[in-house]
Structure 1
Amino acid sequence: MSDIKVKNIEIKDGNGQDTVNVHKQKKESVSIPDNLPVLPLRNLVLFPYNVNSISVGQERSLKLLTDVADGNNLLATIACKDQHVEQPNPNDLYHVGCIAQILRISPAENNKTTVLLQGLDKFSVNAWLSEIPYLRAKIQVVDDIEPEEGDVEAEAIRNNLIKSFGKLINILSYLPQSLMNSLTQTEDCRQLVYLISSSMRINIKDAQEILSLKDVVAKMLKLTKLIQHEMEVLELGKKIQSDTHDEMDKAQRDNVLRHQIKAIQRELGEENGQQVKIEEYQKKIEASSMSSEAQEQATQEITRLEHIPQSSSESGLILTYLDWLIALPWKKTAEGILDIKLAEKILDEDHYGLEKIKQRILEYLAVRQLRQHRQLAKPIENSEPSNHIRQVREGVILCFVGPPGIGKTSLGHSIAHALGRKLIRISLGGIHDEAEIRGHRRTYIGAMPGRFIKALRDVGSNNPVILLDEVDKVGGDQRGDPAAALLEVLDPEQNREFRDHYLEVAFDFSQLMFIATANQLDSIPAALRDRLEVITLSGYTDDEKLHIAKRYLLPRQLQENSLQADELTISDTAMIRIIRQYTREAGVRSLDRRLGAICRKLVIKIAKNSGESLIVNNGVLEELIGKPPFSYDVAERTERPGVAIGLAVTAVGGDILFIEASAMLGKKGLTITGQLGDVMRESVEAALSYVRSQAKHLGIAEDFFEHTDIHVHVPAGAIPKDGPSAGVALITALVSLLTKRPVCNHIGMTGEITLRGLVLPVGGIKDKILAAHRAGLTTVILPEKNEKDLSDLPESIHDEMRFVLADDVNTVLTEALTNKI
């Protein structure tokens, strides 16, 4: 066993910044056991009294650190003889090392760990005890032989060492000047040697020799020799640098002569291939009609190219950059269609309904047509805009929001067709890298522009329709936030000068028409959402689905399955049954798949020569596509008190919710299940508080909660649910339970409630009503202030359903419960 005393000394550089902590003796002592785990060091020798930070990544070394950190924080360090050995064994290590104490362990990048070690004392290995799970050895502390007090020779060697190292400090920039003060204050020769050794950049072999020497005087002599050798190398380096400077002057002279030779060759018509290529690029740049900024940047790159050898890799990078600048459609604009009637005809042929979107596209065309007409009539001198700050915005940035399968993406294709422009579809779902939008900077190997610049080059015009699909599913990580990069692209005030990181020059995006699609607005960042003109698309009614199936889906399925129009006939009643009992969706994707299945049944029939046509009615549906997967069980589920039907909006459209309440003996207990979010759980508590406060008016015993536990459950527990719009349904279910009056099985309801019983407006009314219609409900109770939303509904919904507008809970309960209060 051995003890060592430690004391802290701070060493600062010339700017007064801490650089390293050197530990000297102090009153505290560290007890060192005679066997320790061994941590092999690569490219490093740890000296006593010094602190070093090392990076650890091997599994056995991480295991060693974990075990030591749980114990006495002591370990043995030994340098490797061969720095390239991945898993060193005892034969790969030196015999002498340094005992270390762990000061700090912290995680680092690339699954590595950084550990801060303080050297305590030197040791030698007596025997190796084990290699698994890590190296462990029996050690013996080795004391260095220090010079006796008053030894004149040792004092002279010490002073010479300090003087030599002081000269080295003046030459080497990485050694702080304040280090000299610490050296002169260090009286212990042993500590002086280890301080200087840890400060210099010594190779592993020499550093290990200094550590292994027992005589401190021998250590000082060895270190002095190394310092002198280092100074000789530095002096020689200065001489070489001076000679190199003279050679550089000669190289500059040669460069001037080469330029003169090129000028002579140009006059004689003897230009080389590089010069011919440069002139070709200069002609392409002039013909490309690029902006003055881009032309200036291209000219600078041409100038660089003239001074770079043709075989250089930099030459290829410059040529690739110039190719991108030249290929972009700086002023190439597609003519497009400005005939409003023709555009309206194309939109009607491609999509059924969607009147708001069609009207917005026609407005855009009308504005462009009128602007073009009046600009032609203006004098030339008045053609420039008078306001250079707020210039005319020509592009359109629309965002179609709605459930899947209602035709948002296909609508983008239809709009491009109606405008007579090319369409670029950029799928943003799952993008995490900002460089996908802005491109990579040219400093990186393999750098390239972002998706927008690539798309414009491919399409060859500066005014295509760009469809940004699934904009609500953009992600972000350590590589940046693509949604933030889209802010500049989709801002009409900024996108006139969009700067891709690769191009580093401005490109005008103001002529582009952007159409974004999304299933939900909530997941789009607020700043990005503010730049979009949002158009909400709700689900289709049964009547609309019938028309879409007959006009679009069925003809397409017939064509895809190589069938003639007269070979398959589906009656309207069969189509309605498919819509209601074989699909339950806001869009028409499942309906399209069902029609495809029927078509394939006919194809098999034709292939077997068992028939050449098929007439589909209700009687043969189950034979063709199986039993209906959906049925309306509303009446069965609401026949008992305590069940109400709420309406909700999800990412796939509207839906109905069965809200169930149950009572049992207990004492003021409230249980809420069904994976409800915080807002919906608070709605349950508010509903219960209202029922308790109005118990007498509702015909309920005022002390019912004193001996009752209430359980509120919303089925489909695997699906998260949240929001305040289920408030009226929650109150209705509770009152129905406590008064034993069932809720009418044909009524659905939505609305937020207050503790005073007011019914507040909510969103998604159209989607909710369409969901109620699909479920077979005939009456919907909704907040009175949502009356304005009823104008968005088709006439068929108004004809088939009844709407009750409520401003307080009493109106809701009067209408919903089977017996009036």
Structure 2
Amino acid sequence: MVDKTITMPVIALRGMTVLPKMMLHFDISRTKSVAAVEKAMVGDQKVCLVTQKNPDEADPAFEDLHHMGTVALIKQLVKMPGNVIRVMVEGLKRVELLALESEEPMLVGEIDQAPEYEELLDDITRQAMMQIVRDKLSEYGKENPRIAKEVIPGLLVLTDLGELLDQIAVQLPWDYLIRQQVLDSVMVEDRYALVMKHLLTEIEVTKIKRELQSTVKERIDKNQKDYILREQLKVIREELGEDNPLSDADEYSKRLKALKADKEIKDKIHKEIERFKSMPGGSQEANVVRMYLETVLDLPWKKVSKDNNSIAHAEKVLEEDHYGLSKVKERILEYLAVRVLTKKGSSPIICLVGPPGTGKTSIARSVAKALNKEYVRISLGGVRDEAEIRGHRKTYVGAMPGRIAEALRQAGVSNPLMLLDEIDKVSRDYKGDTSSALLEVLDSEQNVKFRDHYVELPIDLSNVLFIATANTTSTIPGPLLDRMEVIEVTSYTENEKFHIAKNYLVRKQREKNGLKESQVTITDKALEKIIHNYTREAGVRTLERRIGAVYRKAARQFLEDRSQVIEITEAGIEAYLGKEKVTFEDVNEDDEVGIVRGLAWTSVGGSTLQIEVNVMPGKGNLLLTGQMGDVMKESARIALSYVRSVCPQYQVKDDYFEKHDIHLHIPEGAVPKDGPSAGITMATAMLSAVTNRKVYAKLAMTGEITLRGRVLPIGGLKEKILAARMAHVEKVLVPYKNRKDILELSDEITGNLTIVYVKHMPEVIKEAFVQE
């Protein structure tokens, strides 16, 4: 026995024991423990770790500590919040604490480093012990598969018996008191007996637990027990003469008998009810089945409402609710007439397309009102999960039916009017393509047996009147667009906005703000000023907000002075709405070189674009500014190529474009601009600048150009013509192939304009250039 003793810092551990070759993290916060760590870090980074007998003792003395401990090497220190230090240590060897010195502010102990005794075991005994320990470890691993996989292989490779016994105590999930007993066992024989005792105990406890679980499972069938108890309770209540309230399953059976549905559907629901009866009341699976039964029993399988088939009534309702929109109303009435005659919903689904605020949603609501149908709205904007349409499978946590099935459940009948709002704004992600899921909903050949993943039963959607709305068809996938009939709801003229405001919006906002016509009136001129100088939009949503703002201020004014009747006039509008919000850019007064006015379509209506071209000495470069999109940049290059090809006809020198740069600019550079309708405008502006010929100031044009100078048709013509009127344009050049679109416009829109149809660029140039 080695008799060397030393003094070193001591840390008292609470609720843990460190063995040799054991890596451990623990937190310290006591002043003496922190001081001991700091002392060790100044020296050889070694500290003596001993375990307290009572973990609750705040300041332990020598008799409060186990005397066998471990010298450990401090590997890492981490400062934590709250003056706590996290220490990582590695146990080195057993030591015996002989005494504690009262050295403040830490514990310092006298340590005997040599409690290891010479082993008296012969090699055969050691091998036998080693083999027994390994066999029992393997048996322990069979009872604990996780430990067998993660821990046992590392233990079986150890060759030193003492080290193996220590590591068993370290690696297996044993209490710290057992580990302290192992630490106290200096002799290998004693350690072997202790470890084997606990190892055998663990094996037997695990076997007994498994046998008990098996026995309990065989003897008690909880489902059967609950069923028997329920039947006994029913008999007892009958004997006592008490009323037997319907259970959930009985209630579902009663609802199933009253349900109007096909036999196939009722049989499936009946099977689910029978399965529900055999389930424990509070189990998770029973809750899932309960939610499912509630859903399918609430669906209106064959429950229908009686439609009002009077076309005259439908026309009256549409006229009362909406001003103008004659083509839209006409198409909807035709659609309804066909449905009445065929008694089917197999005709194409209507898709109302137009700028925001033009009344698409309110048209659908009016159709539901006209037909006496239930109205449900599904907002598709931003929906990107296919399960939103088809539902989630019942196996998922939190599963629920899709929006279509849920809308039917909400409507309560199988023939409602279902509005699919913002169908152009659905998207896709890794969870599926929402627009593809809508194909089955909107296809009359498929929606007779629409399958919702949650409901798992065929739902007949053929009686549902679907109406979709969109701002544009460009973002709707082709297959989905093919299943719908597009009806355009175009921009309103100022006259239409005036009638809408006077006949609908004024009354609505007056009542909304608690006022009567006898208290506040607004003149026609005031309405016209609000429309012209305070709104710039295709629809009337902003107009309604402006009228609402006027009536809110009028309400306050009326309460402050009840004696007067408030009249809102054109001159007084500024007091209610502030300075004018919108100013329209008029055409230039003088004819100029290189400046041409084009017409553009935007999502909120039409606008005019002044295209400017300057020519300067250079090396033949084309400079484009004004935040133009790719399509418009390509149009500019095509226009330049055309201009260069026809310049010999205007006595332009052959080397002109090699010695000059052309700069094309569209003002309002912060506003993005794109679209295939400014080709002829840019070509005219370039040719004007190159040839120094003036262009009529009160002329505007729209159309795309080809390399050979043909003028191609464009879209959004109504909005563009309205923009031309607002800018006081006198003549508009329009592609010849758009003639049919102009003929559909009312005289109110085209009345004071000279419309010239052009097929080729020479015609454009002839009309645009000032004759000299």
Q: Quick check: TM above 0.5?
A: yes
Equivalent positions of 1:9-20 (< 5 A) are none
> 1:465 touches 1:513 (CA, 8 Å); kept in 2?
yes
Counterpart secondary structure, 2:587: helix
Q: How big is the shift at 1:734? A: 1.9
The equivalent position to 1:728 in structure 2, one of 680, 700, 716, is: 680
TM-superposed CA distance for 1:727, in Å, is 1.8
Look up the match of 2:333: 362
Match of 2:607 among 625, 631, 655: 655
Q: Tell me how far apart the structure 2 counterparts of residues 299 and 422 of structure 1 sit (CA, whole Å).
A: 29
CA-CA distance at 1:273 after TM superposition: 4.0
Counterpart residue type for residue 79 of structure 2: E
Once the two structures are superposed, the pairs formed by residues 307-706 of structure 1 within 5 Å of their partners are 307-310=278-281, 318-372=289-343, 393-394=345-346, 397-431=349-383, 436-443=388-395, 448-474=400-426, 482-557=434-509, 559-560=511-512, 562-564=515-517, 568=521, 570-571=523-524, 576=528, 578-596=530-548, 604=557, 608=561, 612=565, 614=567, 616=569, 628-636=580-588, 639-706=591-658
Looking at structure 2, the residues matched to 651 and 229 of structure 1 have their Cα atoms a distance apart, in angstroms, of 79
Q: Distance in 1 between matches of 2:175 and 2:589?
A: 82
Q: Per-residue displacement from partner, 1:328-364 (whole Å, max 9, x unpaired)? A: 3222211121111221222122222223322232223
Using the alignment, how far apart are the partners of 2:36 and 2:404 within structure 1?
Answer: 59
CA-to-partner distance for each residue in 1:679-708, whole Å, 9 max, x for gaps?
A: 222222333333334332344343334343
Q: Match for residue 298 of structure 1?
A: 269
Q: Which residue of 2 aligns with 1:131?
A: 79
State the partner residue of 2:220: 248
Letter in 2 for 1:706: E
* Residues in 1 aligned to 2:147 and 2:723: alpha-carbon distance in whole angstroms: 76
Change (3 A) 1:627 1:168: closer
What 5-or-longer segments of structure 2 have no aligned partner?
Answer: 1-15, 41-70, 95-115
Q: Any conservation in 1 of the 2:237–2:244 contact (CA below 8 Å)?
A: no
Higher radius of gyration, 1 or 2: 2
Equivalent residue for 2:252, pick from 273, 276, 281: 281
Q: Aligned residue for 1:232?
A: 204
What is the aligned-residue identity percentage?
39
Superposed CA deviations along residues 94-133 of structure 1, whole A, max 9, x for unmatched, are: x9xxxxxxxxxxxxxxxxxxxxxxxxxxx95347666379
Does the residue aligned with 1:661 lie in a helix, a strand or coil? strand
Cα distance change on mapping 1:597 and 1:283 into 2, 3 Å: closer
SS in structure 2 opposite 1:814? helix
Deviation track 1:556-595 (CA, whole Å, cap 9, x = no partner) reads: 4555563438974735x66555544443221223444455
Query: In structure 2, what residue type is equivalent to 1:660?
Result: E
Task: Choose 600-609 or 454-463, whichever is displaced more.
Answer: 600-609
- How far apart are residue 529 of structure 1 and its match? 3.1
Distance 1:535 1:214, change over 3 A: farther
Deviation readout 1:709-749 (Å, 9 max, x if unpaired):
33332233333222222222222222222223343222222
Contact 1:751 1:783 survives alignment (8 Å): yes
In structure 2, the CA distance between the partners of 1:615 and 1:253, relative to structure 1 (3 Å rule), is closer
Q: Is the 8 A contact 1:497 1:506 kept in 2?
A: yes
Alignment of 1:149-228 (within 5 A): 163-164=135-136, 202=173
**SS at the partner of 2:770?**
coil
- How far off its partner does 1:258 sit? 5.2
Letter in 2 for 1:421: K
What one-letter code is carried by the residue in structure 2 that aligns with 1:537? V
TM-score, scaled relative to structure 1:
0.70
Which shifted more, 415-424 or 775-784? 775-784
Give the distance between the partners of 1:233 and 1:256, measured in 2 at CA.
Answer: 34
1:815–1:488 distance in 2 versus 1, CA, 3 Å = same
Is the partner of 2:500 in helix, strand or coil? helix
> 1:415 and 1:440 mapped to 2: Cα distance?
32
**CA shift for structure 1 position 174:** 5.8
Task: Give the match for residue 46 of structure 2.
Answer: none
**Separation (CA, whole Å) in 2 of partners of 1:678 and 1:154:** 85
Contact 1:601 1:624 in 2 (8 A): yes
Distance 1:510 1:143, change over 3 A: farther
Whether the aligned pair in 1 keeps the contact of 2:382 and 2:426 (CA below 8 Å) is yes
Cα deviation 1:352-391 (Å, max 9, x = unaligned): 222332223222322233235xxxxxxxxxxxxxxxxxxx
Whether contact under 8 Å (1:744, 1:818) holds in the other structure is: yes
Structure 1 unaligned blocks of 5 or more? 1-42, 49-76, 96-122, 373-391
Alignment partners' CA distance in 2, 1:644 and 1:357 = 35
Partner residue, 2:68: none
Letter in 1 for 2:273: I
Other-structure match for 2:730? 778
How far apart, CA to CA, are the structure 2 residues paired with 1:254 and 1:815? 96
Compute the RMSD of aligned alpha carbons.
5.1
Query: Secondary structure at the residue paired with 1:367?
Result: helix
| Alignment: residue pair count | 691
> Are the equivalent residues in 2 in contact too, given 1:645–1:729 (CA < 8 A)?
yes
Q: Which residue of 1 aligns with 2:666?
A: 714
Distance, in Å, in 1 between the alignment partners of 2:35 and 2:669 is 60
Structure 2 Cα separation of the partners of residues 480 and 336 of structure 1: 36
- TM-score when normalising by structure 2: 0.74
Per the alignment, residue 3 of structure 1 pairs with none
Q: 1:789 aligns with which of 723, 728, 741?
A: 741
Return the offset for 1:554: 3.9
Aligned amino acid, residue 240 of structure 1: L
Q: Cα offset for 1:231?
A: 4.1
Cα distance in structure 2, aligned partners of 1:175 and 1:458? 54
Counterparts of 1:84-95 in structure 2, within 5 Å, are none
CA distance in 2 between partners of 1:757 and 1:213 (Å): 102
Q: Is the 8 A contact 1:638 1:644 kept in 2?
A: no
**Could you tell me how far 1:461 is from its partner in structure 2?**
1.8
Cα 1:256–1:799 change in 2 (3 A) is closer
Rounded Cα–Cα distance in structure 1 between residues aligned with 2:433 and 2:324 = 36
SS of equivalent to 1:131: strand
Q: Which residue of 2 aligns with 1:58?
A: none
Matched, 1:741 2:703: no
Please state how far the C-alpha of 1:402 moved relative to its aligned partner.
0.8
Report the residue type matching 1:283 in the other structure: K
Moved more, 439-448 or 811-820: 439-448
